Structure formats: structure tokens, C-alpha cells
Structure 1
């Protein structure tokens, strides 16, 4: 007996099936396994969205830079030594293509291509060419600066790029997600920074499974039971459990928001922080109330939120603030990077607690991440077995959505389907 594998089997004309009358929402499993779907995503999703590059605090001083792949392409971000402005550049020499930025981060006055020693300043200008006279008068250095992505912009210190010159402006693209970025930044008194050090790891599963998992409240108590037992052992009150809501924020963005039963070093003191931190936390809380009012201060300090900025940026504002991106390198392989965001000039004791939370729950070896990855890789293995064609994402369609429902996931899938299938006539052979 023989048959096509899930990776090569025919792909239906529509990968997302929504039937409002039957209150049914399904996603075809070939969206997680098919090589052509993966290739089309790279062009239609990552080539036509705003993608997170980094945070302005990572390049605080003139000449500071960070390099990383964004949307599967090598770029770097630098603060110009002369202008003080942040620029984002393709990491490719305009001579013959080799990388010009060869370290992940640092401070430099120039970037020199190791292949033929063409040299560029931190503004992206070509400033040095060995034996320039060999070109006679035919080398116009002003035309040979580093290439920039067509669109670069920032919101509250978060820098984004897009490879689509016609994309809508960033504020319009962020839509309702702006409110939640504001909660994160204003909750840290308006001044935040990315701390040094990253988590870099991978999973043998499709990237969209991590999107779902990051805004899924349904799995938390079952998958992360050990962590909640750990919190209870520390004296953290879990009375009332976790309650919240899932929301679509427009343009594929989504959030789950709810009460936070765990200790958060923002402005919500609990005994596990120790008496030494009580006065500082109460002072921070009073400042939030003065600036934003009691209701908004409560949201910042006493609620948590997992925010998806479509397609692949997650801001987890829970027991710590984690900024996480991920990129598919194959239908069943995803590379993940995460950073810790924190208030500037934070009290050392609170910073220590924040970093401990970053590692203890959200780190690659913490309570949550290994459990999540095991679950997602198990799903991917299940897809490869075949037999079942569709995933069900219908939970909550018959009621106002809770954080344990799937409206926030449906928001992602609707935008994904729109981008993947929006130009069927023009790209009829793509899928």
C-alpha cells in the first residue's frame, strides 16, 4: 500500500475554512507540512509585513550596532556616529556581496568587507575603496552605499522594517496592538531597555504552532502544572485561578489579557519579593497612579498580556517582559530568539527577580518552554502521520471569547489566509 506523504500531498485551494453558520473554523494541516506553502509564506507573509528588527536601546550610543536575520534576510541596525540616527542596512557589500558586519553586536566607526576591503561608515556610506584609481573616473562612491530595506520605522522604541515599499505606515499596521505596547512601556515608567544576552534555540515544528501557543490560554494549567505548583510552594497566592480574555487587534495582531496570579516586579508587591523591595514597589505604583489613574495602573501592574504582533513578534508581559521572534527555516523547523525587556535604572533586587523569572519560566531550560516545545513537536509528528486533514480552531465561537478560547488564533489565521490567497489569479501556480 502506498500514498502521498503529508509533505507532498495535494494542497486544497483554501487552507483556512471558516463557516460562521456552523460555528466552525478549520486549518488544513498541509499549512504546517507542505514545502510549497513554506516557500510561499516566505514571499507573501514575510516579504509583505512589518517585521521586528530590534529595540533602540540596543544601539544607545553612536556607532553601536546589532546584526540579525529579519524575515530570513541578513541585516544590521546601527546608530550613525555622525547623525546619531538609527539606520537598518542589508548586510551585503555593494561590491561583490560579502557580509560587512561580521559580529552580532558592538561599537564601530566603520564596517569593512573582509573580501576586498571596501569600507562603509555607520551611516551606510561607502568611504574607502583600495586602489580607487584603478577605476579611473567611473566609480561613484555616493551611489554605492549600503542598501536599506524599503521601509523602516519605530514605535515606542521598537524598530521595524518591511521589504514591501507599498505597505501601510507602521502606526496603521499596528492597529490595536499599539495600546498593549503602550501598557508595557508606560508600565515601566516610560523608559525601557533590552538587557544584554539572548535566548537562542530551535524547535522541530512549524512556526505557526508557536504563534498559536504564545497566545493560547487553554493549555496553561494542563501543560504548566509544575510551574504553578512551584509558585504555590514559594507562597504566591493562586486564589481565583487565571481569568482573562482573548482579543483580535486588527491586521492579524491578537492578545490574551488577564489577571496575573504570579509575582511581577512591576508595581505589585507580594511577600516573596521581600520587605526590602516593598517601599520601592509602592513608590513605583504610586507613580503609575499619578500619571495614568488607578484603573490604568491596575492594568499595568496587576494584569498580564501575551501580545502577538503579526506575523512573528511576541511580547510576553507576564512574570517578566520577554520579546520573542521566530523564523521558519523549513516547514518543520523554526529558529527562535528572545530578549528581556526591563525598566531603565531598575532597583537591583527587582532586576534580579525579573531575570530569574525570565530564566525560570520562559528560558529554554525553564518550566514553560521545554513543555511547550515538546507539545508543539508532538503536534508536528502527528501531522506527519497523516490521516486527519484539518485542525479545529473553533473554541469560543458561540460566546464572548475568553483567554482559553481561540478567537485570538483565528485573528492570526484570517490575516494569514488573506495574504496567502489574496492574489489567486496572479499567483495561481504558487500553491
Structure 2
């Protein structure tokens, strides 16, 4: 049976995917946030076939470095082996499935399972079995029982893993989103580094969280009004004149300020809110010329506000924040929030960016508290039997998308749901497409 034939069966009724998400993405059924069977299908159809963010090369600086991360509901061990090659494996011993690594990150040449003592190298190979010659009679084929490998690729420092060996290469998966990621990742010769993470859980469906990162400028003046001066915070439904929502395709989405050529860098840097302290302003202005040489004049004048790489990598670049949105059940996510900085930025600049990221989008951040309450409330309401009879409207800007010869993808106003529609269309396509 193909996913095109797949239906959700509940209480003697059948709900087809076409009844959950409109073909144009203009409406969704809230059931997609609370249906347990759909959630289980997502683990196969979305997280089992997608490229998922797992870390940054700066977190694995030398042979023997490792990270313990998550891909969907699977624990994964990302390592540099003795030769320095990047590898990833399921973090599950081949004897009884116990996690062979219990630490979040560190340095190790081998990993020993605490349950029965099987030992694996940093390349995932099985290198030791207690009682191999006596109780196993020398009959264990260690070459056949190494850790299960996970496909891994890197895009300009960001590491992604994928369970599907037939999935397209990472750069193809990113598509036009890579053009925009370069604005964050390739501004300076030294690239970037990732600091953190902070981790916490929210009672919300992962899609509610991901869609907010993907394309919701509409909520800012209402949900976050207290963070802005009264003349700005009271109502942000009015589109911002120099900003656009951008849909690069493939379920990705972002919002960006696009500064005209006649506007000097110090003009938009000086208009930041809250203002940059002098040492941060001076660093950003001084590094602009290098960014312009690397990215080109036009792209160096684009400042990303928010974004998401399908399915669950969220970004708030305006606050130097990058976060993985890990599903922990149909109505819970675990947020892993990092600060992304230029590797060669001065220590005092990095420290200020980490502090700003934490106080806005950390677990106790002023913006994060607003968002977490909203995401939880949306998820909670989707469990209502009466609520599931209705639909949720995503038609803002539908049919008014534009294109530009200077920007990849489709454009909408900042008060637009262009990216939410792309996100949920991709979700429906993924559940329809695989066997």
C-alpha cells in the first residue's frame, strides 16, 4: 500500500490525508497536531527519510570527539574516528539495544556498553565481546555486528544525518535554502561555531513549533508586544517595508530584511532593536566588507530574521539562535537551542551574543515564554472532538505570491502565511509519497 492510499482509521471512520491538509495548503485540520497514529506515521515518513540536523563541526574538533544527539526518536552517536573521518551510528548496542554512550559529548577512543560490556570503536566497529572465546566459542562475526551506520553529510559546518540511503544528497535536499544559509554560514573565511545547547521540553506538537520558525511574522506584535515600544508592539500586522517572507521550496521557509543599495550598513546596524553595544556594532560593521566579497553585494545586504530547514531545524538569526525541535510524543517536543557565532569573532562579541540568545530564546527567555505558551495552547485545543470538526485558516496572502530575479523562491509580505502553506504541503506529500 502506498501513502497515497494511506488513511487514518479511528472509531470506525476513515480520514484521508486530503481531508487533513488542503492541496494548496490554505487550510489544515487540527487533528494533525494530536492524532497518535499520524505521529507514528511521521516517524517513518518524515523523520525516517529526511536529512536531520545533528550538530556542527566545531563540536567535533579532533579524532575521538563525539556527540550524542537525536534524530526523531532515535538516539544517535556522531563521532570523528581515529583518522578524523566523520561518522554517525545508532546509539544502540547490537546485543540488547542498550545505549553504548551515556554522555552528551566528549572524547573517547571506544565505547563500552554498560549492560553486558560489548565494546565498539569510534568508527562503530565491534572490537570486543566479553567471553568471546569461551562462552561464544569464538563464533561471533564481529565484522557483522558493528553499530548500525547512519548516513551523514555536512553543509558549511552544519552536520546532518539521514536514515534513508536512497534520499537525495544534502545539497539537493536543501535546494534554494542553501543560498540563504550561506548568509549565516559563509560570511567570513573562518566560518561559524555553535555554542550550547540549552535544553527543555514543551507540551506541544513538533509541527506547531516548526511552522512558527518557518514563517510566522504575523504573531510578533501580539504575542511579543511587551518586548517592543508601544508604537511597534501594539500591532505588527502591517507588513514591514524592507522585509519579506520567502519560500525557497521543499518545505523550507524564512523571513528576511532586504536592505537597498543606497542604505549604508551602519544605518541598518544602528537601527537594531535593542541597539547593539559599541563593541558588537564595530565588529559587525568591520566584518561587512569581507561578507560582501564572499557573498556579493546583494546577498550581503540580506539579514535573516527567522527560518526553518524542513522538517525540524529552526532558526532565529536576528538573535543568533539555532534550534533543533526534537519530537518526544504527539504533544511534546524537546528544544535544543544553540548560539551560532562567527568562529573568528572576538570573545566579548561572542559572549554578548550568547547572553542575548539566552535571554530572548533560551528556556527562560522573554520571547520563548510567550511562544511556548501559545504552542502548548494550540496543541491542547487540537485534542477536542469538536475542534477537530473544523479547519484552521492559512490563506493569508494565498494567490499573491511574487518572484524576484534577485532572490530564489517565492515572496510574500511579512504578514503572510506563504511558508506555512509550503510546510504543510510538504508534510502531506511526504506521507503520501512513500510505501
Query: TM-score surpassing 0.5?
Result: yes
Where 1:398 maps in the other structure, the secondary structure is coil
Aligned CA distance change for structure 1 residues 161 and 186 (closer, same or farther; 3 Å): same
CA contact (8 A) 2:221 2:232 kept: no
1:4 equivalent in structure 2? none
Aligned CA distance change for structure 1 residues 357 and 126 (closer, same or farther; 3 Å): same
1:100 equivalent in structure 2? 100
Residue 291, structure 1, aligned to residue 290, structure 2 = no
CA contact (8 A) 2:156 2:186 kept: no
2:363 equivalent in structure 1? 364
Structure 2 CA distance, aligned partners of 1:138 and 1:287? 60
Where 2:398 maps in the other structure, the secondary structure is coil
Structure 1 CA distance, aligned partners of 2:96 and 2:382? 42
Residue 12, structure 1, aligned to residue 23, structure 2 = no
2:338 equivalent in structure 1? 339
CA contact (8 A) 1:180 1:307 kept: no
1:429 equivalent in structure 2? none
Residue 108 of structure 1 deviates from its aligned partner by 0.8
CA contact (8 A) 2:46 2:431 kept: yes
Residue 397 of structure 1 deviates from its aligned partner by 0.7
2:379 equivalent in structure 1? 380
Structure 1 CA distance, aligned partners of 2:356 and 2:122? 36
2:65 equivalent in structure 1? 64
1:229 equivalent in structure 2? 229
Residue 170, structure 1, aligned to residue 170, structure 2 = yes
Instruction: Write the deviation string for residues 350-400 of structure 1: whole angstroms up to 9, x where unpaired.
Output: 112211210121112111111011112222233233434211111101323
1:248 equivalent in structure 2? 247
Instruction: Write the deviation string for residues 166-211 of structure 1: whole angstroms up to 9, x where unpaired.
Output: 212211111111112111112244511111x322112222111112
2:194 equivalent in structure 1? 194
1:157 equivalent in structure 2? 157
Residue 281, structure 1, aligned to residue 280, structure 2 = no
Instruction: Write the deviation string for residues 266-286 of structure 1: whole angstroms up to 9, x where unpaired.
Output: x94579444445544332122
Moved more, 124-133 or 213-222: 124-133
Structure 2 CA distance, aligned partners of 1:251 and 1:68? 25
Structure 1 CA distance, aligned partners of 2:330 and 2:295? 45
CA contact (8 A) 2:157 2:185 kept: no
Structure 1 CA distance, aligned partners of 2:217 and 2:232? 19
CA contact (8 A) 2:90 2:148 kept: yes
Structure 2 CA distance, aligned partners of 1:10 and 1:346? 58
Aligned CA distance change for structure 1 residues 338 and 139 (closer, same or farther; 3 Å): same
CA root-mean-square deviation: 2.8
Moved more, 127-136 or 203-212: 127-136
Aligned CA distance change for structure 1 residues 231 and 393 (closer, same or farther; 3 Å): closer
Where 1:18 maps in the other structure, the secondary structure is coil
Where 2:292 maps in the other structure, the secondary structure is helix
Structure 1 CA distance, aligned partners of 2:342 and 2:231? 24
Where 2:301 maps in the other structure, the secondary structure is helix
CA contact (8 A) 1:204 1:377 kept: yes
Structure 2 residue runs without a partner (length 5+): 1-9, 234-238, 260-264, 402-411
TM-score, reference length from structure 1: 0.85
2:406 equivalent in structure 1? none
1:129 equivalent in structure 2? 129
Aligned CA distance change for structure 1 residues 370 and 329 (closer, same or farther; 3 Å): same
Structure 2 CA distance, aligned partners of 1:145 and 1:19? 44
TM-score, reference length from structure 2: 0.84
What pairs up with 1:215-226 in 2 under 5 angstroms? Answer: 215-226=215-226
Structure 1 residue runs without a partner (length 5+): 1-6, 234-239, 427-431
CA contact (8 A) 1:8 1:34 kept: no
CA contact (8 A) 1:62 1:79 kept: yes
Residue 138, structure 1, aligned to residue 149, structure 2 = no
Where 2:349 maps in the other structure, the secondary structure is helix
Structure 2 CA distance, aligned partners of 1:343 and 1:364? 23
1:236 equivalent in structure 2? none
Structure 2 CA distance, aligned partners of 1:325 and 1:288? 26
CA contact (8 A) 2:120 2:126 kept: yes
Structure 1 CA distance, aligned partners of 2:183 and 2:13? 44
Moved more, 83-92 or 185-194: 185-194
Structure 2 CA distance, aligned partners of 1:77 and 1:359? 26
Residue 403, structure 1, aligned to residue 407, structure 2 = no
Structure 2 CA distance, aligned partners of 1:140 and 1:394? 58
